[in-house]
Amino acid sequence: MKNLISAAAISLAGVTAQAETYELTMASSHPTVLPWVGQLSTLVVAETNSRLEAMGSGDRVEWTEAYGGSLYGFKDTLEAVGDGLTDAGWVGTLWEGSKMPLQNMTYFTPFISDDLVATLQIMNELHRELPELQAAWDDQNVVFLGASGVETYHLMTNFPVNSIADLEGRKILAPGPSANWIKHLGAVPVNGALPTYYNQVQTGVADGMVIILTGAFPNKHYEVAPYVTLVGLGAQMTGGLGINKDIWEGLSGDVRKVLTELGEEYTVAHAQEVMARYDSFLAKLPEVGATVTELPAADVEAWASNMPNLAGEWIAANQSDGADAVLAAYMEKVREAGLDAQIDWASK
């Protein structure tokens, strides 16, 4: 950031203030076709100066945009913002299990809610209220502005799933923490990533996947795993919009106010876009030859009720970071929001 590239003296009631224009870079490891990246450009960048003008501020931001990994890859999003490679951008906390374990809480608390907007709004509130969550960003020299996430997870397989018993012995793509969602069903978790799933199922490495439809449909996973079984394992926080802390502290109060407000709006806007795509893809699946069914309610209940205490294990591993307080606050907000959680992880 070049702190002052243009200035004008503005006199108000005899007091002279300096209007500043800041040069900032907004970047991401992923392309703008993804809602949590696209909204960085179409909302945050696009609206910054109009919001400043509307509030009567003379300050402006001159944005440079760099998406699609042009500055750094998906494994370096946190360091890129914290070290100043970019001034602001999307941070993928789901890849930062060691540095930001508290931000990965939702992956250890499945079966809470399929409502992505409500889930992420709760995570934003918790970040504002709990120093334990704020500390994780502070430690990386990043200021958190708004959460991002993905919709609920379902099953896509190359065999019909009429009950959870059908998953026993089957090889299911479920990387990272999601592997723990299926182990107690007798399924065999297989590691992978969205770009590799198609080939892994096609070649017999796996029989199916635990997946988000907004990722599966564009990658045509229905061609190799045409049986879509709706389960509703829950919406997840995957990261958020962050800005370099040193840069943040050098911005005017007006710019910080606008970016704070836009961070909240970013969370809602991209979550609504994700859900719109989810609804669209779900409706299109039968048109492309997929068979869509719902897992019987009794099986969903059995899946959830027999789930190991993943949250307890997560707390034990992150006790020193305050994981127990974060989980308790999360579940309290879930109840206050009227979300119909199938598991009360705080009392499991």
What is the residue-wise DSSP string for 286-304? GGGT-EEEE--HHHHHHHH
Q: Alpha-carbon distance 201 to 223, whole Å?
A: 10
Q: Running along the chain, 348 residues long, what does each successive block of 10 average in pLDDT?
A: 44 58 97 96 98 98 97 95 98 95 97 98 98 97 98 98 98 95 98 94 98 96 98 98 98 98 98 98 98 98 96 97 98 96 93
Classify residue 347 as exposed, middle or buried by CB count within 10 Å of its CB (0-12, 13-18, 19+). exposed
Q: Alpha-carbon distance 203 to 189, whole Å?
A: 16
Tokens of 146: 């708004």
Q: Alpha-carbon distance 223 to 225, whole Å?
A: 6
Q: Alpha-carbon distance 135 to 242, whole Å?
A: 13
302, 164 contact by CB (below 8 A): yes
Specify the 3-state DSSP secondary structure of 236. strand
What counts of helices (H) and strands (E) characterise the chain?
12, 12
Give me the residue spans of the domains in the chain: 7-148+237-278, 154-234+287-322
Per-residue confidence (pLDDT) for residue 295, from 0 to 100: 98
Per-residue confidence (pLDDT) for residue 348, from 0 to 100: 84
| CATH label, 154-234+287-322, candidates 3.40.190.170, 3.40.350.10, 3.20.10.10, 3.40.50.261 | 3.40.190.170
Residue appearing with tokens 């200035």: 7
CATH superfamily, region 7-148+237-278: Bacterial extracellular solute-binding protein, family 7 (3.40.190.170)
Pairing of strands 236-244, 188-190: unpaired
Per-residue confidence (pLDDT) for residue 101, from 0 to 100: 97
Taking CA 225 as the corner, what is the angle to CA 299 and CA 172, rounded to the nearest 5 degrees?
A: 60
Pairing of strands 88-91, 15-27: parallel
Per-residue confidence (pLDDT) for residue 17, from 0 to 100: 60
Q: How many CA atoms lie within 13 A of 202 on its CB side?
A: 10
**Contacts with 312 (C-beta within 8 Å, 6 or more apart), sequence order:** 348
Would the CATH topology of 7-148+237-278 be identical to that of 154-234+287-322?
Answer: yes
